[in-house]
Chain A
Amino acid sequence: DAGITQSPRYKITETGRQVTLMCHQTWSHSYMFWYRQDLGHGLRLIYYSAAADITDKGEVPDGYVVSRSKTENFPLTLESATRSQTSVYFCASSDVPRTSGYEQYFGPGTRLTVT
């Protein structure tokens, strides 16, 4: 299917476990982003990537690791999950900003609960 997909859609894990959230896009967009959405905070950027093998920190990167070996995939790993990482995670992609009008396309989200 064309577009941007995330998996799993729902995940429950225990404190201290490693969790990986997957994101896949079929548009060959250069840029990909990970956000978390929490009540009272809106969306906050965790990490972003300008191209394969190029990643950079956003506003709230602590406790997260990303990689981007292929243009279409941008997994987000919580190395040792904590309760404060309970959130809804959104992946987004964008073409080179100056040619796309800066529009980002969002996936459906992953609801993660850390117990």
Chain B
Amino acid sequence: GNSVTQMEGPVTLSEEAFLTINCTYTATGYPSLFWYVQYPGEGLQLLLKATKADDKGSNKGFEATYRKETTSFHLEKGSVQVSDSAVYFCALSDNAGNMLTFGGGTRLMVKP
């Protein structure tokens, strides 16, 4: 079956530091890949997505590239802010697009 593995957190960074959160996946076929973000006390929001190999998703300074050869979709940001503190989830969709499989989530804490 499908699965998503994320690096365990928490990840603690100083403001303006470079962020990488690793995500690898196992899936049959050609899934779409997503990063969702969950701010404290809220539901999940879509941060970015990529629907085919070599696509780059980007939003709010975050980027992730769909790497089929390494089955990875690592999240990066060049300069994090305190407001980026949240839990980040990597996810993939099944071939029919009906269901998402989530990774365990990575908590990011950014200190001023």
Contacts and interface: CB of A to CB of B under 8 A. Distances in A.
A42 B32 contact: no
Contacts, number: 55
B93 A97 contact: yes
B76 to A, nearest CB: 21
A32 B49 CA distance: 20
B102 A58 contact: no
Interface stretch (B11-19, B37-45, B63-71): B37-45
B99 A48 contact: yes
Nearest to A31: B98
A43 B102 contact: yes
Size range of the interface on A?
Answer: 20 to 34
Given A90-B44, A97-B93, A101-B49, A40 B104 contact: yes
A31 B34 CA distance: 18
Nearest to B46: A103
A37 B3 CA distance: 16
B104 A41 contact: yes
Contacts of A76: none
Contacts of A31: 98
A32 B103 CA distance: 20
Contacts of B100: 43, 45, 102, 104
Contacts of B32: 101-102
Contact of B98 (A43, A44, A50, A106): A50
Interface of A: 31, 33, 40-45, 48, 50, 58, 90, 92, 97-98, 101-104, 106-109
6 contacts: A31-B98, A90-B43, A90-B44, A97-B93, A104-B100, A107-B43
